[in-house]
Amino acid sequence: MSASPEIHSVRPGDEIVTLLSEWLAFHVSNPELRQRLLGIGTDGLSPEQTEAIDELTNELENAAPAARGDLEMLVRETLEAVALG
């Protein structure tokens, strides 16, 4: 039996849910959200979850750095898609 602690990897979906929650709380900017989403990627996500992430990253590419408006609704929809699977 090993004395070293188990290392748990964070699933992409969990990481994305946390990131989107941070954006909703105004802790992450639009450019940072896009960059981090691209860095996390969509490996392991369902096709529906991947589609939601792709749609959001495409919208963020053209959004002003401080724009919220319609993005907030899209972020909430993406959060729901990823969280609920």
Domain ranges of the chain: 27-84
Q: Which residue is associated with the tokens 């990823």?
A: 82
Q: What is the pLDDT of residue 3?
A: 54
Is a pLDDT exceeding 80 seen at residue 66?
yes
| pLDDT one-digit tens code per residue, 22-44 | 999 999 999 999 999 999 999 99
Give whole-number Cα distances, 78 to 6, 8, 30, 67, in Å. 31, 25, 15, 17
